[in-house]
Homo-oligomer: A and B are copies of this chain.
Amino acid sequence: MQVTITGAGGFIGKRLVRQLLAKGTLADPQGAQRPIEKILACDLTLAGLPEDPRVSKLEADTSNPDVINRIITDQTSAIFHLAAIVSVGAEEDFDLGMKVNRETTRALLERSRHLGKKPRFVFASSVAVYGGEMPPILEDHTAPTPQTSYGTQKAICELLISDYSRKGFIDGRSLRLPTIVVRPGKPNKAASTFASSIIRDPLEGREVSCPVPADTSMFLLSPRKVVEAFIKAHEMPSEKWGMIRALQLPGLTLSVRQMLQALQEVAGQTVANRVRFVPDPRIEKIVYGWPTAFRATRAQALGFTADASMHDIIKAFIEDDLNGKFVS
């Protein structure tokens, strides 16, 4: 079978490609495990993607209709749609966010629909669909009230994916991702990027500014867990999803102080001392709008799990992305 991955050059996309290559098979639209013959990986840049005869790379803009026709073909049985303009990016350029986050998803759904074989379609949504005035603890049935254009666009895509699934056009599954830590490499334009920077940079020997106060709560999941969740979401039979195709993933609710405490306990005081607090009101404003306490009842019942601790998340980052070494 053929698998399409958008945003395949991102750090989660690359891990997903590696994990799918290692797994070797995926459920086809009828639910039977089939060998993965080809992964059509698309992103603006695809540096660092594994070299494997099964991986077909296309460096291109997924918001281009011609590109969509090339990456989803008659042979495509599974689509993982990860490409997006992230939160600050979509806030700074409303029209670009609408185009890439909303219209491109719609175009991918239309293309998938017209394959006529109800491909499984896994979508990276976000906890950013929530915001503003909310109950103290969010439940599966709490209404998304996004306070960013990014969150709005994700919520719209979730609704489309549910309706396309209900109509039998695709077999969709949307996962609302917590903030993913620890991202390797450079910061991106997500308002949440500091949550990775305050762990990554000190471990790599660099000083770093934290733009929010230490008592700011975050809702976190590791790259390992999120890739596991994407594959699990794909593999689950359609009837387990039922009518509601968007799912809040579980995560760890931790304050920045607790995150840094774990950093100190894993890597020592010298490393933890590399973090300074330099408030950035623009980031604070976006981050304060995000919810941090969830009762992810449905996801847990379906077997999705959070990381055991921040210590585990940091250790996994050191292992996976720093070759087991950090600058003490």
Q: Check B146–A143 contact: CB distance below 8 A.
A: no
* Choice from B135, B155, B162 contacting A145 with Cβ under 8 Å: B162
When chains A and B are docked, how far (Å) is the Cα of A146 from the Cα of B143? 12
When chains A and B are docked, how far (Å) is the Cα of A149 from the Cα of B169? 12
When C-beta atoms are compared, the residue in chain B nearest to A169 turns out to be B94
Q: Give A235-260 interface residues, CB cut-off 8 Å to B.
A: 242-244
Q: Check B141–A134 contact: CB distance below 8 A.
A: yes
Q: Which residues of B contact A243 (CB under 8 A)?
A: 132-133, 145, 147
Q: Check A142–B141 contact: CB distance below 8 A.
A: yes
Task: Count how many chain A residues have C-beta atoms less than 8 Å from C-beta atoms of the other chain.
Answer: 26
Q: Check A159–B152 contact: CB distance below 8 A.
A: yes
Q: Check A94–B167 contact: CB distance below 8 A.
A: yes
* Choice from B142, B167, B244 contacting A132 with Cβ under 8 Å: B244
Question: If the complex has contacts A141-B143, A143-B143, are A149 and B167 also in contact, measured as CB distance less than 8 A?
Answer: yes
Q: Which residues of B contact A167 (CB under 8 A)?
A: 94, 149
Q: Give A149-185 interface residues, CB cut-off 8 Å to B.
A: 149, 152, 155-156, 159-160, 162-163, 166-167
When C-beta atoms are compared, the residue in chain B nearest to A154 turns out to be B159
When chains A and B are docked, how far (Å) is the Cα of A94 from the Cα of B146? 26
Q: Check B94–A133 contact: CB distance below 8 A.
A: no
When chains A and B are docked, how far (Å) is the Cα of A243 from the Cα of B134? 11
Q: Which residues of B contact A134 (CB under 8 A)?
A: 141
Q: Which residues of B contact A187 (CB under 8 A)?
A: none
Q: Which residues of B contact A162 (CB under 8 A)?
A: 145-146, 152
When chains A and B are docked, how far (Å) is the Cα of A135 from the Cα of B242? 16
When chains A and B are docked, how far (Å) is the Cα of A134 from the Cα of B243? 11
Which residue of A94, A133, A141 has the most chain B CB atoms within 10 A of its CB atom? A141
Closest 6 CB pairs of A and B: A152-B163, A132-B243, A143-B143, A156-B156, A141-B143, A152-B159
23 interchain pairs, CB-CB under 8 A: A94-B167, A132-B243, A132-B244, A134-B141, A135-B141, A140-B143, A141-B143, A141-B145, A142-B142, A142-B143, A143-B144, A145-B244, A146-B159, A146-B162, A146-B163, A147-B166, A152-B159, A152-B160, A152-B162, A152-B163, A156-B156, A156-B159, A156-B160
Residues of chain A whose beta carbon lies under 8 Å from any beta carbon of chain B: 94, 132-135, 140-147, 149, 152, 155-156, 159-160, 162-163, 166-167, 242-244
